[in-house]
Amino acid sequence: MKAQFLDLHAAADFLGPGAVEVNRYQTEITDIVRRRGVFGQRIRQVPATGHPSRFFEQTAIASPTAAQGFVDPRNIVATVGSPTRVERSVPLKALVSQINYNLFDIEVGAQQSQFAFLQAKDLADAVEGLMRTHDVALWNGNDTSLSTPATSQYFGAIGQIAGGGNSYTVHVGDSIVDELKGVIAQMVANSSYEVRPTAIYANPVLLDLIDRELKAAYNVVLSTTEVAGGLRVKALSTQAGELPLIPEWSIGYTGTPGSGTAVLPCYIVSEDMVEYHWLTDANPRVFQLGVPGSLSSQMVVVKFGAVIVKGASYAHYEVKVNR
């Protein structure tokens, strides 16, 4: 046991005959603050080749037309062909966050011994906070070009997919499920690319509308599948197989569903074609700066990298649902 002196007048909630009530708190801090998204945990993490990170994309193979390929077997004349490859690049971006620990406050906390874990928790939360910003920007980063970056943020997946030109609108009164399945069938039927979507990402509000539609029209309850540790989601049967319907809170929507003016987007994604190119380490790194004259400990969290949606014009699709 450890004896301590307390200023009862300063800390007392009540003073009375036979009673002195002082402040006491639970040692656990209630915390269900939202942190990571799902998308950033499922896409590929690859080391960057440099700044910018460069790669080649093959857009076609040497395939002669029927008139060129079929010839007289006694008079063979071949048509020369070559594969078509395009150079691509993605500029790396920097995310940074900082937390300072005041020496006096840390020593007071250590002497009270009530929230001794807070320093570690707050540093872990600083890392999680940076990753939350990272996860939001994976979808919504406001840069507009990979070749000529205009802002310090990522060129988000939404901008890259929409910029690829694959966009479809489900109008009020149309079946969301039927239209989604039709778009996926078109993607799989692509004669130029072997497209295999792996997931559908949308705001939970849109996924709820899909659930309600299936229940009302067909009295169907979707099966579930696990997409991340401990996270199970509904799965939709399509021509690309059972695609998980992944709720992503960072995908926003406009308007009020049911008003006829709401627009709720979802994204059909081939996740193996989405990469995060990292520099040095895929995880955020924490650096402790030198202690200044204020004797505060300065911790800086840093992450370098960028997201690239490969095959944005054929391997992914944006579907906007009007409701």
- Distance from C-alpha of 270 to C-alpha of 166, rounded to nearest angstrom: 13
User: Does a cis peptide bond (omega within 30 degrees of 0) precede residue 52?
Assistant: yes
Q: pLDDT tens for residues 23-39?
A: 777 777 777 777 788 89
Q: pLDDT tens for residues 304-314?
A: 999 999 999 99
Residue 196 confidence (pLDDT): 93
Q: What is the mean pLDDT of residues 152-177?
A: 94
Q: Model confidence at 103, in pLDDT bands (50, 70, 90)?
A: confident
- Distance from C-alpha of 246 to C-alpha of 249, rounded to nearest angstrom: 10
Residue 26 confidence (pLDDT): 72
What domains sit in the chain, N to C, each tagged with a CATH number?
165-275+306-322 (3.30.2320)
Q: What is this structure's pTM?
A: 0.85
Q: pLDDT tens for residues 207-229?
A: 999 999 988 887 777 888 888 77
Cβ contact 38:231 at 8 Å: yes
The two beta strands, 231-238 and 224-228, are antiparallel
Of 290 and 320, more confident: 320
Residue with tokens 């239209």: 179
Residue with tokens 């955020």: 284
Residue 9 confidence (pLDDT): 47
Q: Retrieve residue 136's tokens.
A: 């939001």
Mean residue pLDDT of the chain comes to 87
DSSP labels, 250-287? TS--BS-TTSS--EEEEEEE-GGGEEEEESS-SS-EEE
- Distance from C-alpha of 230 to C-alpha of 226, rounded to nearest angstrom: 7
